[in-house]
Amino acid sequence: MSIIAITRASYSHGKEVAERVARELNYECISKELISLASQEFDIPENWLRRAVEEAPKLLDRFHYGKQKYVAYLRSALLEYAVKDNLVYHGLAGHLLLAGIPNILKVMISATTEERVKLVRERENVSEKEALKIIEKFDKERRKWAMYFHSKDPWDMSMYDLSLVIGRLTIGDAVDEILATAKLPAFQTTPEYQRVLKNQSLAARVKSDLMNFYHDVEVSVENHTVVVHIKRSLKMEEALTEDIREIVMHIPGVKDVRVNVIPI
């Protein structure tokens, strides 16, 4: 029982690797489905979210709530899946969206330039020069997205437990490496890790709902109590506590709410 987050470069066979790993383990495999879930969960048009993935800095800067709200929705939607365990996720920066979950196996799938060019030319029927331009554009956009939302370079290998390069390895080799690593004790779901995951999922859901009203909140869960951290004048503490409790107490799984007002 484990959760595998695969970050993949464009034209790297990453999707194929992820799907084969999921089949071998009999795990659920999701990627773009995350957009659909977030769309339904938070009543946002799916086509808007899909465009936001491709044009994040341009599109989201036109909205008052900015990037934080969008990331909160995605994280909450992904954690809903992750709580079920036995999951392979390949898509939007899963290793970042699942930050704080100790047993996530974080994998980077890339490919040699030669392998990527070959794949682009096969799929797009373009010259080698055009293929290189397409790869460069995708890599630039992926880096822009990750830096904009998380201030992290997606090609920083220190963020991953496993980095695999197709071209040096076959697809089958990569699948075997992931399967072997996923069996290690560090990546097994224990009762304690499951408790952490459930707390993180509840905190993410509460934060997503609160960000409709307070864009600067942070949320944690301690001993079945939701703790909301917010920077405001202490004069506002009583009114804030009443308002936040009213918003949060209806969320399934919330048993109590404590508001921690950080003086400004």
Q: What is the pLDDT of residues 4-20, one digit of tens each?
A: 999 999 999 999 999 99
Strands 104-111, 87-90: pairing is unpaired
Which regions of the chain carry the CATH code 3.40.50.300?
A: 3-187
Indicate whether 213 pLDDT > 50. Answer: yes
Give the per-residue pLDDT at 51. 67
Average per-residue pLDDT for the chain: 89
% of the chain at pLDDT higher than 90: 62
Instruction: Work out the average pLDDT over 243-253.
Output: 94
Which residue type, as a one-letter code, is found at position 161? Answer: D
Indicate whether 57 pLDDT > 70. Answer: no
- Cβ burial of 71 (10 Å; 0-12, 13-18, 19+) is buried
Q: Which residues pair with 1 in a beta bridge?
A: none
Domain 213-262 has CATH 3.30.300.130: yes
Strands 28-30, 87-90: pairing is parallel
**pLDDT higher for 92 or 262?**
262
Detail the DSSP E strand segments found in 95-196.
104-111, 162-166
Which regions of the chain carry the CATH code 3.30.300.130?
A: 213-262
Indicate whether 158 pLDDT > 60. Answer: yes
Indicate whether 64 pLDDT > 50. Answer: no
* Cα 161 to chain centroid, rounded: 16
Q: Give one word for 85, left, alpha or beta, with left for phi > 0 and alpha for psi -120 to 50.
A: left
Q: Which among 41, 54, 94, 49 has a CA at the least distance from the CA of 208? A: 41
Residue range 3-187, CATH number: 3.40.50.300
